[in-house]
Amino acid sequence: MKVNCILLVDDDESDNYFHEYTIKKADICHNLKIATDGAKALEYIHRAGQSGQTEEYPLPDIIFLDINMPRMNGFEFLEEYKLLDQRLRSGIVITMLTTSLNPSDREKALQTGIVSEFLNKPLTPEMLEEILKKYFTK
């Protein structure tokens, strides 16, 4: 099972490097895109919507979202994401992927109604497999 596109939203270069390696090794997506903050992720989604799903800008099937980022953090991203046209948000599984062990962060993320999972870094092949099974097998 492969999804078309995964969008990593994280400002940490080493986390992105490791997560990119893990995703590519698991061979679960055709396209992997990286945004280093929430604002860049929103810009990417807008471009994907305007471009009509080109190879350069496919809409993501899964977004792995960090909480703590400069410019626009994960929670600020979620507030803006909710305002996007439904066609841009349809079918996207948002997973908070963070180092935060704060239970209130988990509760706040899941109460948004748009975050499907709240997982602790690092991303593992088992986590990827579980997300694919839960949300993308028919």
Q: What is the mean pLDDT of each run of 10 residues along the chain (138 residues)?
A: 96 97 97 97 92 80 96 96 92 94 92 95 97 91
Burial label, 70 (beta-carbon count in 10 A; 0-12, 13-18, 19+): exposed
Q: C-alpha dihedral over 29, 137, 19, 15, to 10 degrees?
A: 130
Peptide bond into 122 cis (omega under 30): yes
* pLDDT in the model for residue 55: 75
The CA distance from 35 to 50, in Å, is: 18
* pLDDT in the model for residue 69: 95
